Amino acid sequence: MKAPSGESPLRVFGSMLAYYRTSAGLTPEQLGARLYVSGSLVRKIENGTRAPGETFAANCENIPELGCNGALTRLYEILSDHLKQRAYPGWFAAWPDKEAHAKRLRSFELVVVPGLLQTEAYARAVLSTRVGATEEELDEAVALRIVRQQILDRDNPPELWSIIDEQVLRRPVGSAQVMHEQLKHVAEMARRSHIVVQVIPVDAGAHQGLNGGAFVVADFDDSPTVAYQDTAMSGQIIEDEDEANTLAYTWDTLRLEALPRAASLSLIEKAAEEWT
């Protein structure tokens, strides 16, 4: 079974959900209440502007009135595969699987909030800068970024340790409201036991991160460390052990420049309020 050619997989899933919901005589609010989500979220999924999570599809299957009989779960699997084919550039396609299986992720960002910590509105503002992208392509790219974040909500999530430059907190991406909500979200995520966010303050001056772009180091229980590094034109997955370890050493050096965890959280919270 394949998603219809030329049709957004998000819209296919949304249309199917709307069909089952209306057949069951439920409003979006009534279905949302059964799923412990808002009616607004149900509408966004039905409109194809928000990606459903795996648990969303599974929870729909548990509502007898919908009569899905496994159809939404199967469609979700097709959706995920098709989104990857459409929205991931070739040089990035292998990274999400590595990211999902990592025991620990260590990232550095100089310009924007790390993708795994972005809100939907912030991600849309960042991704909308792509020249020539259609609205459908933008919807799918945003949806796929949000889907990747589900690894942080699973029962055994990877440890995420993100170092960001303070300018990330100051750079206006989208509106002031988008920035306020984004930094609040970062602060909330940073309070989780498996997530650490540290900020390199502006008054630290020049640091090694200014010499290169963003990167992520992924550590595993049973395989060598690998890394992903942004470049001016695209990105690069680094599987050479020596090169990956060099980036890990760079990350360790940057950590020495960053504020401690509690001080970083206070700075993020203060910056969030400054955007109101």
133 and 244 within one domain = yes
Give whole-number Cα distances, 266 to 10, 162, 191, 261, 263, in Å: 38, 15, 11, 9, 5
Q: How confident is the model at residue 130 (pLDDT cuts 50, 70, 90)?
A: confident
Residue 193 has what DSSP assignment?
T
pLDDT of residue 203: 94
Residue that terminates a domain, selected from 35, 62, 85: 85
230 and 96 within one domain = yes
252 and 132 within one domain = yes
How far is residue 29's CA from residue 111's CA, in Å, rounded to a whole number?
38
* 8 A C-beta contact, residue 239 and residue 273: no
pLDDT of residue 214: 93
* 8 A C-beta contact, residue 229 and residue 213: yes
pLDDT tens digits, 36-92 = 888 988 998 898 777 776 678 889 999 999 999 999 988 887 776 665 555 566 667
Residue 98 lies in a domain: yes
Residue that terminates a domain, selected from 52, 85, 118: 85
* 8 A C-beta contact, residue 234 and residue 198: no
Residue 196 has what DSSP assignment?
E
How far is residue 87's CA from residue 144's CA, in Å, rounded to a whole number?
7
* 8 A C-beta contact, residue 101 and residue 155: no
- Average pLDDT of every residue of the chain: 88
Q: How confident is the model at residue 8 (pLDDT cuts 50, 70, 90)?
A: low
Q: Is the pLDDT of residue 5 over 50?
A: no
CATH number at residue 23: 1.10.260.40
pLDDT tens digits, 212-221 = 889 999 999 9
Count of domains observed in the chain? 2
Range of the domain at 26: 9-85
Residue 169 has what DSSP assignment?
H
How far is residue 36's CA from residue 271's CA, in Å, rounded to a whole number?
31
Residue that terminates a domain, selected from 54, 85, 116: 85
* 8 A C-beta contact, residue 267 and residue 199: yes
pLDDT of residue 87: 53
How far is residue 210's CA from residue 212's CA, in Å, rounded to a whole number?
6
Tokens representing residue 59 in the block: 């929870």
* 8 A C-beta contact, residue 197 and residue 264: yes
What's the whole-model pTM score? 0.74
Tokens representing residue 1 in the block: 């079974």
pLDDT tens digits, 146-191 = 888 989 998 899 999 999 999 999 999 999 999 999 999 999 999 9
pLDDT of residue 1: 41
How far is residue 91's CA from residue 79's CA, in Å, rounded to a whole number?
21
Q: Closest Cα to residue 217, out of 253, 256, 250, 257?
A: 250
pLDDT tens digits, 254-271 = 999 999 999 999 999 999
